[in-house]
Amino acid sequence: MSNQGIGITVFDSDTDAHRLVRENQPLPVAISSTTVGNNNLTLDAWGRQKVTIDRSLLHGMFTYDVADRVWEEWSIASSTYTPLATTGTLATSVNNYLQVSSGTTANNGCYLRTKRSPRYQPNRGHLHSTAYILPNPTGDGRRKVGVFCSGAGNTNGVYFELEGDGTDWILYAVRISDGVVKTRQDLTAYLPEGYDPSKGHVYDIQYQWRGLGNYKFFIDLQEIWTDSILGTLTELSLRMPALPASFESVTDTTTALLIQVGCVDITSEGGIKDSRQFASISTGTSLLNCDANSSAMIGIKIPRTITYNAATVQNTRDLVASKISSWTRDEAAAQVYFARDIVATNLDGLTWLNLPDSTAQYLIGGAGSTLDNAFATDQSSMQLVLNEWDDIEQKNVVLNPDPDSAPFYISAGDILIIAVQSFAGTDKNATSLYLSEEI
């Protein structure tokens, strides 16, 4: 064997490599004096070269629509943010790209964000990547693209912001923490030669959060400016490390301002599969009644805001539903109904219980219960996403058939109902819901 490259031994043929594999020996790695990277942390504690493989935490494309399962549209009227029942009012799919319009009412606009809030993974880089066109860049108003949350509660994030005054425009790099703008850097002196926001460019924001790390801004794969804050802060650079992919357009006049987007991705550099903590909800040790009208047995709600340090802040902890267990005295159907809180208004108005050590809330129902009565009123507005047969006195276990590629996320604003419909009239049932929560 010969030809040693940077950090890795290269074989003349695959004979030696195959022999080592057959003998259950690891492939030899030769660390040379030249390593890949620009700091000593590119080596592990034993002097071995580290390898980083990116993991996409969330991505979005808009080939046919702006899917309600992924995105939520908010109306902005005089700085008040209101979630809409469905996307498609100002955020639409046009010619296979996303178009976010401010509309034509002065001081109004549109805020589009992912329902999920992908969490920063400690000791890894975080990267937001997208590409977009900003027509009429001098238009009077503001357009933002990045990872940020707006509206009620804490406002946090990092993003590019284009501001026009009707005559000229300025592109900014912005970092906002807990509603306070910490950085708003005019990028004019750093832009690539010939940069025109009305033409398509690729934009990336990369950061080493850890609560205190730097933020790098890229246009067309060139690093144009760094928010260099290491060793300067006495508080976290961002108060919230779990942020949605977001787009916002607000006009100051009656001229619509547009953001036209190809796709978007949030990646953890060197990331791993989501690390989540187990949780569960059950109807308890006593059997509850269900009937022929689809009785709500378990309800779970992820509130949009929570109280933290005596303040109201946005809830960014997502859950995953992974398993349902249902047992009924007679033949029945185990069902899952889903809705956003602004659709299931009666359920949303109930007094929910706090799930221990969690930001989620829950209620136990049964035929004729408070939960069941509210569900009966909202049922026609909810989506039936699962209907499984419960055989007579046989435990029915329902698992997500594709948990790795398509986990069933429950995010802030979601309400989930586990209902059981007995085919023989009133009957006895026990139901359990198994969850995991990003913490």
Q: What phi-psi label fits residue 236: left (phi over 0), alpha (psi between -120 and 50 degrees) or beta?
A: beta
Secondary structure class of 66 (helix, strand, coil) = coil
Domain ranges of the chain: 1-51, 55-269, 276-438
pLDDT in tens, 280-297: 999 999 999 999 999 999
With CA atoms as reference, report the closest residue to 368 among 324, 430, 426: 426
- Lowest-pLDDT range, 31-45, 51-65, 250-264? 31-45
The Cβ of residue 170 has, within 10 Å, a number of other Cβ atoms equal to 14
Q: Provide the pLDDT for residue 304.
A: 95
Structure tokens at 297: 């047995």
Structure tokens at 348: 């949303």
**Confidence (pTM):** 0.89
pLDDT in tens, 88-138: 999 999 999 999 999 999 999 999 999 999 999 998 999 999 999 999 999
Say if CB 195 and CB 123 are below 8 A apart.
Answer: no
Provide the residue type at 213 as one letter: G
Q: Which CATH number fits domain 55-269: 3.90.1520.10, 2.60.40.10, 2.60.120.200, 2.60.120.460?
A: 2.60.120.200
pLDDT classification of 4: cutoffs 50, 70, 90: very low
Give the span between the Cα atoms of 187 and 172, in whole angstroms: 5
Q: Which residue has the tokens 């499984």?
A: 388
With CA atoms as reference, report the closest residue to 124 among 276, 275, 270: 270
Q: Indicate the DSSP class of residue 210.
A: T
The Cβ of residue 414 has, within 10 Å, a number of other Cβ atoms equal to 22
Secondary structure class of 377 (helix, strand, coil) = helix
Mean pLDDT of the chain: 91
Q: What are the DSSP calls for 308-357, one per residue?
A: ETTEEEE----EEEEEEEEEESS-EEEEEEEEETTTSHHHHTS-PEEPTT
- Residue with the bigger pLDDT between 9 and 250: it is 250
Secondary structure class of 248 (helix, strand, coil) = strand
Structure tokens at 299: 């309800």
Q: What are phi and psi for residue 203, nearest 5 degrees? A: -125, 135
Say if CB 305 and CB 369 are below 8 A apart.
Answer: no
Provide the residue type at 131 as one letter: A
Environment class of 381 (CB within 10 Å of its CB; exposed 0-12, middle 13-18, buried 19+): middle
Say if CB 231 and CB 203 are below 8 A apart.
Answer: no
pLDDT in tens, 321-355: 999 999 999 999 999 999 999 999 999 999 999 99
pLDDT classification of 34: cutoffs 50, 70, 90: low
pLDDT for residue 8 is more than 80: no
Q: Provide the pLDDT for residue 42.
A: 82
